[in-house]
């Protein structure tokens, strides 16, 4: 890399930092199905997760999407489904020493000012690598509820009892855990396998439901489920965000000249029977994270083509982009061959009208700092904290500002204390606070993210006292569950 190219990259990054977004979804997936936790002791897994969360927090991540149900099992305490083998090594075996990973993750994320979204795979009942099911697994209790495909068990989407069952499982999670979101990914009807067909023709022939093709019938089965799941979540807790992360291609233009993209890959609509645009446009999901895992210039699924397509077609709900860390760092920036594609992809983000966030696939790749990806986030793109994007369609009313802001000495040092504002209903209670710091005489501007010193669920912060001769103004605002921000409360101090 020449000196001129290096300076150009730093300049582009600096410009982005100067125009840093105050509100941006900055997520990372932590998956279990890859076996990274399988057989770990309780202490070892907690230690691993603490390290990952600490590093991700430094990198600017503000939301964790944590896999808790890979195959009709549980990485949480469930009376409905068995403990996951991806946690303990044997399906149905409880962790020893006993702990509840989901409850623990909720607490750890909230301590760091992060959201926790519980990620489930709704239909998958057995992965290819699972050879033994627990006696209380749904496939054992109800052997007619699933079909076998490519050495997997899939809960049949045609059966209402399966929709009801999954919604019962989700309602249990939402009711018992203080999660911020419920997340499903791209597994609906199974990904096509060569020489295999989905064994559901008899169900279609028995009850076509007025649909002329089996494809339309299958899509309707999934539509019914997504709508029911959305209603289940919001009936229990209106503030829990329901998100979906579909495969990156909706339809190819050669299949759908009107709504298709200039791509030639597998299609959500035609191959997975997932009509994602219908869910977005009908408001059945609260956010959408298409998995655009390919590189800029991919011959059949170009990243630049797809981010522009989703920006145009999926704007009725908050839109975030699923980014593959390894692929991004593997391929060169088309304009700067000596750089990987992170700067190029962020340039594309800046050019969109509706994209307001990223979810990184996957957390460990960021923590391992592959291609310096984590370092670049930490030092440039996500150098300053960001609040979650607002979702006015759920709640648009800000909470009241904090009360009784005071600076006090304690035995542990100089602290800024405040009290929570009064609020009775879920949509007017403060759950977090944003703390800003300004020099004496500096104009208060809470849109300047460089002034944020903390986003915290606590009602105090320790002040960096030096000699008591320099004047500052601290500002604290309240944030509710939907990231609505209150008016400011100010306090002048000498540090």
Q: Which residues contact 371 (CB under 8 A, 6 or more apart)?
A: 325, 326, 328, 329, 330, 340, 342
pLDDT at 1: 41
Residue 381, pLDDT above cutoff 90: yes
Q: Cα separation of 152 and 494, whole Å?
A: 64
Residue 55, pLDDT above cutoff 60: yes
Read off the DSSP letter of residue 52: H
Residue 285, pLDDT above cutoff 80: yes
Cα angle: 260, vertex 264, 265; to 5 degrees: 100
Q: Which residues contact 29 (CB under 8 A, 6 or more apart)?
A: 65, 67, 119, 359, 360, 361, 362, 363
Q: Which CATH architecture has domain 403-494?
A: Sandwich (2.60)
Closest CA to 102 of 27, 182, 177: 177
Q: What is the CA radius of gyration of the chain?
A: 24
pTM for this entry: 0.95
**Mean per-residue pLDDT of the chain:** 95
Res. 226 pLDDT band, cuts 50 70 90: very high
Q: Cα separation of 418 and 310, whole Å?
A: 43
Closest CA to 345 of 325, 328, 362, 369: 328
Question: In the structure encoding, which two tokens stand for residue 176, read together?
Answer: 């018992």
Q: Cα separation of 449 and 291, whole Å?
A: 28
Residue 188, pLDDT above cutoff 70: yes
Domain with CATH 2.60.40.10 in the chain: 403-494
Three-state secondary-structure class, residue 494: strand
Q: Which fold has domain 21-380?
A: TIM Barrel (3.20.20)
- What is the full DSSP assignment across 413-451? EEEEEEEPPP--SGGG---EEEEEEEETTPPP-TT-GGG
Per-residue model confidence as pLDDT tens digits over 424-438: 999 999 999 999 999
Read off the DSSP letter of residue 97: S
- What is the full DSSP assignment across 322-390? EEEHHHHHHSB-SS-TTSBSHHHHHHHHHH-SSEEEEEEE-HHHHHTTGGGHHHHIIIIITSS--BPPP
Residue 7, pLDDT above cutoff 50: no
Q: Cα separation of 206 and 201, whole Å?
A: 9
Q: Is the dihedral of CA 127, 128, 132, 138 positive or negative?
A: positive
Domain with CATH 3.20.20.80 in the chain: 21-380
221 contacts 208 by C-beta, under 8 angstroms: no
Per-residue model confidence as pLDDT tens digits over 429-482: 999 999 999 999 999 999 999 999 999 999 999 999 999 999 999 999 999 999
65 contacts 183 by C-beta, under 8 angstroms: yes
Q: Cα separation of 17 and 385, whole Å?
A: 11
pLDDT at 39: 82
Cα angle: 218, vertex 219, 222; to 5 degrees: 90
Residue 2, pLDDT above cutoff 70: no
Beta strands in 99-201 (DSSP E): 115-120, 124-126, 146-149, 152-155, 181-184
Question: In the structure encoding, which two tokens stand for residue 476, read together?
Answer: 């604290």
Q: Cα separation of 99 and 77, whole Å?
A: 8
Q: Which residues contact 333 (CB under 8 A, 6 or more apart)?
A: 296, 339, 340, 341, 343, 344
Residue 5, pLDDT above cutoff 90: no
339-363: b (≥16 Cβ within 10 Å) or e: bbbbbbbbbbbeebeebbbbbbbbb
Question: In the structure encoding, which two tokens stand for residue 70, read together?
Answer: 């890979």
Residue 492, pLDDT above cutoff 70: yes
Say if residue 127 is exposed, middle or buried (CB neighbours under 10 Å; 0-12, 13-18, 19+). Answer: middle
* Mean pLDDT to the nearest integer, 82-110: 97
pLDDT at 209: 94
Per-residue model confidence as pLDDT tens digits over 121-144: 999 999 999 999 999 999 999 999
Say if residue 226 is exposed, middle or buried (CB neighbours under 10 Å; 0-12, 13-18, 19+). Answer: buried
Per-residue model confidence as pLDDT tens digits over 149-184: 999 999 999 999 999 999 999 999 999 999 999 999
Three-state secondary-structure class, residue 249: coil
Three-state secondary-structure class, residue 171: helix
């Amino acid at each position: 890399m020449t000196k001129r190219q290096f300076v150009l990259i730093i300049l582009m990054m600096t410009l982005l930092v100067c125009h840093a977004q105050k509100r941006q979804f900055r997520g990372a997936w932590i998956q279990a199905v890859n076996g990274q936790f399988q057989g770990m002791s309780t202490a070892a897994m907690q230690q691993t997760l603490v390290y990952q969360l600490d590093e991700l927090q430094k990198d600017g991540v503000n939301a964790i999407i944590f896999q808790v149900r890979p195959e009709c099992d549980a990485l949480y305490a469930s009376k409905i489904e068995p403990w996951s083998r991806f946690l303990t090594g044997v399906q149905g075996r409880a962790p020893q020493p006993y702990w509840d990973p989901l409850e623990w993750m909720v607490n750890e994320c909230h301590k760091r000012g992060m959201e926790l979204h519980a990620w489930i795979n709704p239909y998958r009942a057995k992965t290819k690598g699972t050879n033994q099911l627990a006696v209380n697994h749904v496939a054992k209790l109800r052997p007619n509820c699933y079909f076998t495909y490519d050495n997997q068990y899939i809960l049949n989407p045609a059966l209402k009892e399966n929709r009801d069952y999954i919604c019962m499982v989700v309602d249990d999670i939402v009711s018992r855990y203080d999660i911020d979101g419920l997340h499903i990914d791209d597994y609906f009807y199974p990904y096509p396998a060569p020489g295999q067909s989905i064994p559901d023709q008899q169900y279609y022939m028995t009850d076509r439901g007025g649909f002329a093709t089996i494809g339309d019938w299958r899509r309707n089965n999934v539509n019914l489920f997504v709508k029911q799941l959305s209603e289940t979540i919001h009936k229990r807790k209106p503030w829990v965000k329901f998100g979906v992360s579909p495969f990156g291609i909706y339809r190819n233009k050669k299949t759908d000249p009107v709504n298709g993209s200039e791509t030639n890959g597998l299609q959500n609509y035609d191959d997975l029977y997932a009509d994602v645009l219908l869910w977005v446009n009908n408001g059945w999901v609260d956010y959408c994270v298409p998995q655009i895992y390919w590189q800029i210039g991919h011959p059949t699924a170009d990243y630049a083509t797809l981010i522009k397509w989703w920006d145009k077609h999926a704007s009725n709900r908050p839109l975030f982009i699923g980014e593959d860390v390894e692929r991004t760092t593997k391929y060169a920036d088309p304009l700067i061959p000596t750089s990987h594609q992170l700067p190029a992809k962020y340039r594309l983000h800046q050019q969109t009208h509706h994209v307001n966030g990223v979810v990184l696939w996957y957390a460990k790749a960021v923590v391992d700092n592959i291609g310096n990806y984590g370092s670049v986030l930490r030092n440039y793109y996500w150098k300053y904290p960001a609040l979650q994007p607002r979702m006015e369609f759920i709640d648009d009313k800000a909470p009241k500002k904090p009360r009784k802001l005071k600076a006090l000495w304690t035995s542990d040092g100089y602290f800024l204390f405040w009290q929570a504002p009064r609020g009775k209903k879920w949509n007017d209670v403060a759950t977090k606070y944003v703390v800003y710091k300004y020099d004496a005489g500096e104009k208060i501007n809470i849109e300047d993210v460089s002034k944020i010193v903390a986003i915290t669920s606590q009602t105090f912060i320790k002040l960096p006292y030096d000699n008591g001769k320099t004047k500052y103004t601290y500002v604290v605002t309240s944030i509710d569950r939907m990231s609505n921000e209150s008016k400011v409360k100010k306090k002048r101090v000498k540090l």
